[in-house]
Amino acid sequence: MSRIGKQPVTLPSGVTVTVGKDNIIAVKGAKGELTQLVDRDIKVEVNGSEVNITRPTDQIRHRSLHGLYRAIIANMVKGVSEGFKKELELVGVGFKAANQGNVLDLSLGYSHNIILDIPKELKVTTLTEKGKNPLITLESFDKQLLGQVAAKIRSLRKPEPYKGKGVKYTDEIVRRKAGKSAGK
């Protein structure tokens, strides 16, 4: 049995999980509401303050879905109760970030600024301190959407291995390469 899948998801106070028809899971909490369609073979049961996920057989497909849906439901519960946060750092001379509401304005060394509309489910803040790299902070209750938007911002200028310039996560380590002169 899946080690992840057989662990129950404990519900903190203020979070409710309902299993609707067609196996649609709805999770409500203080920060928001999320829904997820679960495969029809996977059974989701709410027992008091716990959510249990079971699979019908030991087929490879069922085993892979078992742990997947348990992790997704656990992330939904954590998101509506605590929320998620990602920070991106702009490394490079002249790189700037500014926001007005949910419109992010990035200057990443191209001939024009890049303007992104951030979804309303996310909260974006930018911080620019003298002598430090600009920071972009994204907060949301939806982990999947948060990761997708953060990856989109990072893809605009990925960190390069020679000088380390680009958009990177604050906890990301960029492996550096030696230049041409190091090979002699």
We report the CATH number of the domain holding residue 124 as: 3.90.930.12
pLDDT, tens digit, for every residue of 7-30?
999 999 999 999 998 899 999 999
Last residue of a domain, one of 81, 99, 133: 81
175 part of a folded domain: no
165 part of a folded domain: yes
Per the structure, how many domains does the chain have? 2
Structure tokens at 45: 């049961």
pLDDT, tens digit, for every residue of 91-140?
999 999 999 999 999 999 999 999 999 999 999 999 999 999 999 999 99
Q: CA 43: distance to chain centroid?
A: 26
Last residue of a domain, one of 81, 107, 126: 81
49 part of a folded domain: yes
* pLDDT score of 153 more than 70: yes
Mean pLDDT, residues 156-182 taken together: 91
115 part of a folded domain: yes
pLDDT of res. 179: 83
pLDDT of res. 182: 66
| Range(s) of the domain holding residue 33 | 9-81
Co-location of 126 and 70 in the same domain: no
**Cβ contacts of 122-130, under 8 Å, gap ≥ 24:** 122/146, 122/149, 124/99, 125/99, 126/97, 126/98, 126/99, 128/96, 128/97, 128/98
pLDDT, tens digit, for every residue of 154-164?
999 999 999 99
pLDDT, tens digit, for every residue of 51-103?
999 999 999 999 999 999 999 999 999 999 999 999 999 999 999 999 999 99
Co-location of 76 and 127 in the same domain: no
Co-location of 56 and 88 in the same domain: no
Co-location of 157 and 96 in the same domain: yes
CA distances from residue 5 to 23, 57, 77, 169 in whole angstroms, order as listed: 17, 13, 15, 29
Co-location of 15 and 42 in the same domain: yes
Last residue of a domain, one of 40, 59, 81: 81
pLDDT band with cut points at 50, 70 and 90 for residue 183: low
